[in-house]
Structure 1
């Protein structure tokens, strides 16, 4: 087996483990967040979301980007690791101290004094995440996604199931979320270092420091731009509206973006790491990029369309009436998630074709546009903010994907067949999901009529509430997924050779079966 074949095999294995881990994490996090949302309500979630906005920004500052260079650098040395760890520790400590000191100003900005102690406690996470980054990125460099996912799943399970939910049940409110977040960060630090122990001897400068610092600075600027675009909606929403509105928007945003982030977490690191080994071979990158984008459009977009169709009944069933206003937010943002994945899978192309500076440079005008749009419309409520957020995601995807395609000499004629196939699949699944929801509502109405003649008033109301969302939700999922499966098995030609080739990499038996 050649070195390149071995890299391909490792990349496929990495994506498989990432996909399995993502599914497990999604199920675990969804269950935990549903329980916590029902126990805590929108207001507590809004308070935590305000603190979390500042924390994620601080994490970008504290991480700076030194540890990211451990993935990008081709010939890694012990000095590289020591240097990255040293400056991650320093930047994390400085940012944590600044966040602690300026917590009152953060609370004043959001006009919510209860945010101050939350921010101060969360500042501890800046140091923890900063010194965890070297070991985590060394695992990514080795494509050890099996253990990366094991660490994430175990840390989340302990933090939220053993700490967060019991504290919420006992009445600790928002502090149950703070405690769970810190606990997960500590557990991830310990497990990552156990899996990939490295020197923690400080090193402030060495011969290769300039190169490592250059990568770190580029990552820092890029992450800063991405952070602004990913969080400016909640920054201004928290300023103009109250914690209740922020909670409603945040839960809808998280519910829509969690599967999206897990998919990106499964695909992007492996794609970036493998692509770093093919930096001088744009043709190989091109042959990988086209199937990836085709798979996003043809396989993933229809499922997010299904997600949007069932949003109303999903929120009603999982979260209850107190959260029903978040359903529209969920539906709007779910429809925009495929373009977000398209953007995320395009950025590694820029990084691996000597255009790492382009991601931040191209997004600077979009930051200005987003700032104006959110500042202008944030006071009009969560639905309008969701529409603006979806529009900004589309602009980002268009700009970054166009730049990536230009660097690989990919034209419209290469992309249009996959785009058309994606639209066809999405329309079919949307029709199936919508028909399923309507069928479920009709059955629910018929069931309620039958129930009226058979039961007493209290029993009728109880059963009616229980079945109000279950039947439409089940109908939408079953018929939508049913259409998806039928197309895969009976009309596989609709998928196109790029998608079939991608599926063959991960499940040759499945592709052989549907093509036979």
Structure 2
């Protein structure tokens, strides 16, 4: 019996069918997320012993502006490759690559222009040079070969995952050496730029595919810009969703406390990173290949895949909720003690994003960037309002819980939009939210004395 089950499982992941590709891609997505975050955790533990909390706070502020530049100018180039029928056409890929490069240089100039205002807003003169230097990594990302997106599009992630893990490990070694040598935030900045270059070289050397060249085909340009018009608007809102907590919180607390918050964030975002990685690398192309609108059987299969991913995220969040405070005390010194109760709250706040991950890919996988923009805009408006109010009254606690509350408040709009493509799974949503909140809420009750120190 056991042998037959093992053989059945092995046969399911072999071959070129959609199911086999999806299973393999899910495996490599999980390996990639846990591997990358394991390296990220190791880096964090090592660097907190070589640098001070202020360095992490400064780098977090730099990332706020870099992510802002990237999201405010995103025209959906990679998403266009993922969903377009011409996603494997060399002319289309070369046009996309050329647009990436132009955008990268433009963003670096934008970072230079923002450096002085950023230094004034946050009262950190180091940002005047730190921001333009770190932003050189954006130019490097512009030269990233499009073959990295192609393997994702076609659910072939094995080699790409290994390349990314190897590049990240090399970056860890570089960062550690530079931090030991300089004992300065500049170690983080220089390592980020070098890490981008190393990643590009490894993708070009070890991933199969044609080299990109500069080209601007009119038809491809028209398709990318046409699809990306609403993506551009959506990503402006996406910045407020993904980085709004840091942008607003950084103006309310000192840079040391902000550095401690970023340590908690490293662990607290792990459940969301896992489900988002699988969502973008597996569920998105799966929805594109097998739409729930095809048949009831296809819909059940896609829902089953999304529920599995959601259960994985909820499970990670529950484990972090019960062990988070202990984990921080085990891995870090007393300067970072408050990151423990923050991590418990992060686990609670991550439940909605873990449950609703299956619906994230429905709209874009059907090419509906307009409705995706409407949903993203609604989330951005609600979350930004919540952040200002809750951070003002509750500080860090408000910043941690606002994203989850936003997803709950905008749930009716989400359900209405994705129902158009038969992508709404209300039974799973109700059960997932109920179970996730019950378990993480119990963990919060057990750690309430430590959480009380955050108010």
TM-score range, shorter chain: 0.7 to 0.9
Greater shift, 6-15 or 279-288, is seen at 279-288
Tell me how far 1:158 sits from its aligned partner. 0.5
What SS does structure 2 have at the residue aligned with 1:200?
A: coil
Unpaired runs of at least 5, structure 2:
1-10, 448-455
Q: 291, 311, 315: which is aligned to 2:328?
A: 315
Correspondence 1:35-434 to 2 at 5 A: 35-61=46-72, 63-75=74-86, 76-132=88-144, 134-160=146-172, 162-194=173-205, 195-279=207-291, 281=294, 283=296, 286-296=299-309, 298-379=311-392, 380-396=394-410, 399-400=413-414, 403-408=417-422, 410=424, 412=426, 414-415=427-428, 419-420=430-431, 423=434
* Stretches of 4+ aligned residues off by more than 6 angstroms: 428-435
TM-score (structure 1 length as normaliser)? 0.76
Q: Distance in 2 between matches of 1:354 and 1:142?
A: 17
Tell me how far 1:430 sits from its aligned partner. 8.2
What SS does structure 2 have at the residue aligned with 1:240?
A: coil
Greater shift, 343-352 or 143-152, is seen at 343-352
Summarize deviations over 1:221-246 as a string: whole Å, max 9, x none: 32322221111111011123221122
- For 1:13, the equivalent position in structure 2 comes to 24
Shift in CA distance, 86/424, structure 1 to aligned 2, threshold 3 Å: closer
Correspondence 1:437-456 to 2 at 5 A: none
Cα RMSD of the aligned pairs, angstroms, is 3.0
Shift in CA distance, 229/434, structure 1 to aligned 2, threshold 3 Å: closer
| Kept in 2: contact 1:59–1:129 (CA 8 A) | no
| Kept in 1: contact 2:75–2:228 (CA 8 A) | yes
| Kept in 1: contact 2:359–2:418 (CA 8 A) | yes
Tell me how far 1:140 sits from its aligned partner. 1.0
**Larger Rg, first or second structure (1 or 2):** 1
| Kept in 1: contact 2:45–2:331 (CA 8 A) | yes
TM-score (structure 2 length as normaliser)? 0.85
- For 2:450, the equivalent position in structure 1 comes to none
- For 2:5, the equivalent position in structure 1 comes to none
| Kept in 1: contact 2:310–2:356 (CA 8 A) | no
Tell me how far 1:326 sits from its aligned partner. 1.8
Tell me how far 1:156 sits from its aligned partner. 0.8
Summarize deviations over 1:226-271 as a string: whole Å, max 9, x none: 2211111110111232211221222212211134313321343221
Shift in CA distance, 223/355, structure 1 to aligned 2, threshold 3 Å: same
| Kept in 2: contact 1:48–1:177 (CA 8 A) | yes
Tell me how far 1:423 sits from its aligned partner. 4.5
Unpaired runs of at least 5, structure 1:
438-516
Q: Distance in 1 between matches of 2:231 and 2:391?
A: 29
Tell me how far 1:322 sits from its aligned partner. 0.5
Shift in CA distance, 409/342, structure 1 to aligned 2, threshold 3 Å: closer
Summarize deviations over 1:52-103 as a string: whole Å, max 9, x none: 1111122234553223211111233211011101111111111111212331
Shift in CA distance, 393/39, structure 1 to aligned 2, threshold 3 Å: farther
| Kept in 2: contact 1:374–1:385 (CA 8 A) | yes
Tell me how far 1:216 sits from its aligned partner. 2.6
Greater shift, 244-253 or 424-433, is seen at 424-433
Summarize deviations over 1:122-170 as a string: whole Å, max 9, x none: 121111112216232122123221122112111110011x211122223
Shift in CA distance, 289/7, structure 1 to aligned 2, threshold 3 Å: closer
